[in-house]
Structure 1
Amino acid sequence: DIKGMKYLIFRYFNVSGASSDGAFGYSKNPSTHLTENAVRAALGIVPFYLTYQKMDTPDSSPIRDYVNVLDLNRAHMKAVDYLVNGGQSEVINLGTGTGNSVLEIVNKVQELTGKKFNVQQDKNPRSGEAPKLIATIDKAKKILNWSPEKTIEDSVKSLLIWYKKNPEGWKL
């Protein structure tokens, strides 16, 4: 507690997706998010680069936990209820508890769009990355009664709607 105030600290894993109606989505440019970049590449908006070094995983690409932004929204709503009802301060992981490899994401985007796009290896791949990062979400399930409902397919489909409506993201 900080001076008697209760709080929840959320540790997000890889956030993905947009609103299902295309009203809200990701718009950082340049983007560092894999799923968003793959969707943008499939739609011909940007070139696609892989930025990882080969890993000790089944397909040699990093495995990450991709959690949908709408699932995160639900977690925040549950957090408000939890704290209003006297909940204690906690640090909670928010992810799916499962992982997808970089190449699985690329393949899923190509499958759902029906478009093959050029996948280029970055000349300066990131170094020092872990082969596998997956959230342990037991605390979120127990304390907030929260579990993710959306799949990576849901995230890709919502991003397709978002980027078709807003190819450059938000224009500010």
Structure 2
Amino acid sequence: MDICREAPAVCSTFYLYYDSVDMLKDDIENAEMYEIVRHTDAVVDVPLEVDMMSFLRDTIAYIRTKQALYYAFLVHEPNADFIAKWKNAIKEHIRKRLRVLGLRPKNTELRLEILAAEAIGIYAFVLTHPHEIDEDDIAHIAIHALQLMEGERQKKTRSAENGAPCFAIHLDHFLGR
């Protein structure tokens, strides 16, 4: 889209600050990441069970205050740069939590990637299915996933197929059974 063709009155002002619409998008992405990081850093050292429900409710409420932006960048026209920045912010938040807890799980980067994708998926679901969510259940699922990262819900089991050791979460608990 050529911004000057769409809104000629703002053309000269726009180009005082930006060379392109992509620069504007980058500024919007960076400003939003600053806000979401500021929001989440406030609870990085709070135990999950104590504050995850209010943390998720607050985050969902925050996203709803900027629903048009998040819907546009996550759902309508997924913005790969925005999603990558948000995933990096989520991973850094979890890294901070791990440092506070003194934990160094195996395959940390893979686990971080999985958890960041899960979080983005939760928030995209909230935006696309606003009447189908149960925030308490979402918090329960998120706590369970973070505990997997922290190693609290892992248990050594034997797979039924070959008897080889594997790590598994309590699937029944995860599925709410």
With structure 2 as the length reference, what TM-score do the two structures score? 0.24
More helix by share: 2
More strand by share: 1
Rg larger for: 2
